[in-house]
Amino acid sequence: MDITDVRIGVTLISFAAFIGIMAWTWSRRNKADFDEASGLPFRDE
C-alpha cells in the first residue's frame, strides 16, 4: 500500500460523504425544517 492508495481511499470517502449530505439535504422529510430555518433571518424579535 502506497500513498496513491491512501489518496484514492480518501477521495472515495469524501465523495461518499458528499453524496450522503446531498441526499440528506434533498430529503422530503427535512423540507419543513429547512423551510422554517430559511425564514429565521427575516423574523422580528
pTM of the model: 0.66
pLDDT, tens digit, 9 for 90 and up, residues 3-40: 999 999 999 999 999 999 999 988 888 888 888 999 99
> How wide is the angle at C-alpha 42 spanned by C-alphas 41 and 45, nearest 5°?
90
Map grid coordinates 427575516 to a residue. 42
Q: Which residue has the cell 430555518?
A: 37
**pLDDT score recorded for residue 44:** 76
pLDDT at 5: 96
